[in-house]
Amino acid sequence: MTLVISFLKQPMVHFIVVGAVLFTVYGFINEDDASGDGQRIVVDEPTLLRFLQYRSRAFDSEMAAQRLSTMTRAERERLLDRLVREEALFREAQRLGLHTDDYVIKQRLVQKVEYLVRGFGWAKKSLDQEAVSAYYADNRSRYEEPASATFSHVFVRGVDATARQRIEALAGQLNSGAVPFSRAMGYGDRFAYHANYVERSRDMIASHFGDEFGDALFTLSPDQTRWQGPIVSKHGYHLLMIVKRDPGSVPSLESIYERVAEDALRAAIDEQTEQAVRNIIEDYTVEVDGLPWASSSAQDHNGVRA
């Protein structure tokens, strides 16, 4: 993918991001119990602001302070109650040793660090137009609008000689009588799905009729005065009156710019998050013991010894 935010390429930025994350995690964990007394819960404004940032999933101290200042007294008291409840239960769990060798707790801590890393990535609110254009160029297929068709059909069950004779007779009758699609339901056999399909995609049509039918349908041109066919499906024979057929297309970037910009930003933050995680992993030396199958692949990972 050519979309690589320029700041991600700088090793110093990697260092700053990872360092900031680890510093923040350490601060959030250690400042919650500054008193050192396990039975004493001290709640001040910084503690409330940290708690509010966690609950709102946005690590923006100014925004949290503004939100806290606009809360009613009742809202602040509820926030305080929730903080005290959470802190008391957390300390009780620690006292009981519930966090020891608990895989669920381990996963939650892993998710917490990932969450913090990603939270710093969201500090970047938008990408420039060049980055969005590059993302669009690399991911055009994601925005492709599938081919679709609007048509009515007359159905005859089976593909034997009798069914063929019936459908050919119906073709002559419908076309000679100039029967419009609105009266087509009075002809042929009852179909398992629908008689009319409006702006349905090729995949949806194929799910009802089969791939062979879908391929044949999209080779025909719209004609609202003539029944075309017969075309065979996995159910039998069909005569078609095709009202409209749209080929698959990709909208211009200008017409879907906001959607692409959101996707591009999300992809950039995903990439930034993964880079920060990789930087954290690179600070560790991993020793692989007793896994012969890992010996060949271990050389591909920095800091891994087999």
pLDDT computed for residue 176 by the predictor: 92
CB atoms within 10 A of CB 231: 19
State percent of the chain over pLDDT 70.
80
pLDDT computed for residue 11 by the predictor: 43
pTM, whole model, 2 decimals? Answer: 0.52
* Span 17-50, pLDDT tens digits: 445 544 454 454 444 443 445 678 888 888 888 8
Which is nearest to 240 in space by CA: 141, 170, 293?
170
pLDDT computed for residue 291 by the predictor: 65
Judged by DSSP in three states, 148 sits in strand
pLDDT computed for residue 41 by the predictor: 83
Judged by DSSP in three states, 261 sits in helix
Domain boundaries, the chain: 6-137+262-305, 148-246
pLDDT computed for residue 132 by the predictor: 92
* Span 47-61, pLDDT tens digits: 888 888 888 777 788
Determine the length of the chain: 306
pLDDT computed for residue 125 by the predictor: 66
In the sheet that 196-201 helps form, which strands lie side by side, from edge to edge? 196-201, 148-157, 236-246, 228-232
DSSP string, 182-201: GGGGGSSPPPSS-SEEEEEE
- 271, exposed or middle or buried, with CB in 10 Å at 0-12, 13-18, 19+? middle
| Beta strands at 304-305 and 286-287: parallel, antiparallel or unpaired | parallel
* Span 228-266, pLDDT tens digits: 999 999 999 999 999 999 888 899 999 999 999 999 998
pLDDT computed for residue 188 by the predictor: 93
Partners of 245 in beta bridges: 149
Distance CA 148, CA 204 (A): 9
pLDDT computed for residue 123 by the predictor: 54
Helix ranges restricted to H, 141-256: 161-176, 202-209, 211-217
Distance CA 68, CA 3 (A): 38
Query: Hey, which CATH number is domain 148-246, 3.90.230.10, 3.10.50.40, 3.50.50.60, 3.40.50.12160?
Result: 3.10.50.40
Which residues, given as ranges, of the chain have pLDDT below 70? 1-38, 119-125, 291, 293-306
Distance CA 48, CA 43 (A): 7
